Chain A
């Protein structure tokens, strides 16, 4: 090394050192401008066109950019006015929606009946690859026989008439879902790919920019039709993949709100005077599925024995930190149609042993127990819960070997029926019983979401009837009946309905966590 290089090396060293020193003397976390909310979350969105995706991180942003004809309630999934201020139907086949007047899209164009028609046309002319949710909620596309929607027409500027081919009980709930948000026709006419990076809706916030895997920024839409809203000037959605790192960022004041808080960190937040813990109403279920096509789980007694053998209380206390309710049905009590008369299988190893003996396994058997490799709101720590289940099963003579795969592999193999028993869960989309029971346990969904391969003719008939039954009371009866069958046949060991946790800085107010996981931020402000 010659002298010149020595000097440049020394200079470099000096530069680095001075940066370090400067940083140490720095002012720490800077004084935050309190009209901007930084929302820390686990992952980035994949698209900002909600109709094209099925993944929740996208809806967290789009629910603030777009609005739907109908809204869910503030804290539940009841139907409320949205872009449509009134609606009615006489026969459950023709729905008339009266639209809000004086509403503008972010690009300055008017929101009117014509815009609604164009949105529905766009979806109906698509295919399952483009609009996967449209297909699953409305049965198909324009020329498909199963397509529920007959026509969508404008009657003047502010009335839309939707005609159905046949009654669909959850129809209103379906159009309140985030994916059926009304977008500006001039924006999506520029092309789907262009549109999903440049979203234009009528929502309280408009899109500013997107740095992939880093942040999405949205800002106040000045011409928003609801006076006085939104209260914030700007919202920045920032991804922190690691849960602990996200909490660290919150404690350091770099973000104001964080979702995906580990149950184990709940107490730590409650003990911090600068923070508040926020509980999201539960709309999920975590369960142990028993693949009924694989012996010995083809025997009902064995499945019931599993239900008696597992000590849910210990699991909930140890790994959900008590922030969950023990589950007895495949859907949470907040969903209408929940059957509270079902008597939960108690923790009773003796009874389990009796049932096993009756089924012809007095000495137990060997099985594989699949443990979830990723934390989910409904299952914070799959590996540890699996260990408890393993020791519970050992008590009744069942030797369970815990296995796990990386997540997509796990789902793929489980959906092919390769697991004896597997842990999984579900978070509801629209708060309807159909979205839990039919989707997860009906024979139509074997190979997709019915991982247990359970089928029952009587139950199938109940589900199909319920899908077209418009009388709410009759529907509830049908679902209650179905839950009795599920309880008796026991394809699952329902474990818990958890309460997902969020945390925020103390001065944040007006944030109402929604059970669907997509939170409207128009009322949020700092006090």
Chain B
């Protein structure tokens, strides 16, 4: 097992190197000069030249590339062109905001999606099955910004049950320690703030959960249907076991592998680019951070933030692979 993990981590090096190179070349291929964008419409040509020199953009691309690579190897992700702050310092608060939202959304998606899928498979072709699968289809194809604005309108404005946007009560801001506000408020014993933080998570969390929820439900259903037809399920039922246990214990355990894969992939997606949700709900996350950076042609931020997201994506996949062997003892990594 350990050697497997080691091997996987070693494989990561060429993957990430390739990523760095591709992203590096891609951001430079998009038209638009960062100095011009940073300095704005008012900038003089001299100001732009001076900015280019400071940013090192007047040097050949391969020198820029190796400098950047050298920096990464020393743990230096570069400095934002726009704010002049180290990217490493800037990334964490944004990443933390997205992680909190993504995990919350994923919990909703898994709980609802997995159960809907199981029940749909159990009562295949029942009205529940039909409705759940139609909802799942709608969920996959629903534009998030529309769902988000609708949710704001209904739950925040019409009923005033939930806040419209943001991570915290604006007038009573959370004092950030880890930047994961659930943890921060618990550390400080501010349970009133914790309550507010959870309330702020609900609308964007549901909006973000919609697509993975639908995908998980459909995958669980089809995977379950396959398992339910197998001999050992029939045997278990013939032995007179309660249907609930047959479904949730015997069948689901064997149907869980493809579901887990989907969950892993979706988690990566949520962490990487929840841009629309983050925009509608003014959520200061990594998706918006990258989007803003692209708009400002902030090369170091685009490169490094994408690199960090890619790294997380790969790590999630590794964790999912390791979980396989925990759940299904037939799978061994040697």
Contacts and interface: CB of A to CB of B under 8 A. Distances in A.
Nearest to B33: A412
A314 B82 CA distance: 40
A16 B42 contact: no
A9 B111 contact: yes
A273 interface: no
Interface in A246-305: 246, 248-249, 251-252, 254-255
A405 B30 CA distance: 11
A252 B249 CA distance: 46
Contacts, number: 188
Contacts of B41: 54, 411, 426, 448-449
Contacts of A135: 44, 46-47
B256 to A, nearest CB: 8
Nearest to A449: B41
Interface string A393-428: 000000000000111110111010000000000100
B173 A447 contact: no
Given A211-B93, A241-B282, A252-B164, A1 B45 contact: no
Nearest to A6: B248
A213 B50 contact: no
Contacts of A12: 107, 111
Nearest to B282: A240
B289 interface: yes
Contacts of B54: 129
B238 interface: no
Nearest to A25: B161
Contact of A47 (B83, B90, B295): B83
Contacts of A447: 45
Contacts of B170: 38, 215, 236, 238, 254-255
B31 A54 contact: no
A129 B42 contact: no
A55 interface: yes
B169 interface: yes
Given A245-B281, A409-B32, A449-B42, A217 B173 contact: yes
A494 B161 CA distance: 47
Contact of A245 (B152, B289, B292): B152
Interface string A15-40: 01001101110101110110010100
A244 interface: yes
A364 interface: no
A248 B249 contact: no
A55 B82 CA distance: 11
B221 interface: no
A408 B42 contact: no
Interface residues of B, number: 69
Contact residues of A: prevailing secondary structure? mixed
Most B CB within 10 A of own CB, among A245, A251, A413: A245
B171 A38 contact: yes
Given A1-B252, A36-B171, A411-B36, A128 B280 contact: no
B218 interface: no
B166 A214 contact: yes
A248 B42 contact: no
Given A133-B42, A252-B160, A408-B295, A23 B199 contact: yes
Given A16-B108, A412-B33, A236 B171 contact: yes
Contact of B282 (A20, A23, A245, A411): A245
Contacts of A449: 41-42
Interface in A177-215: 193, 196-197, 211-215
A238 B94 contact: no
A238 B282 contact: yes
Contacts of B157: 248, 251-252
A27 B67 CA distance: 55
19 contacts: A2-B249, A6-B248, A9-B111, A19-B202, A47-B83, A54-B43, A128-B49, A132-B42, A211-B284, A244-B149, A248-B152, A252-B160, A254-B163, A254-B165, A408-B31, A408-B32, A413-B31, A415-B36, A439-B42
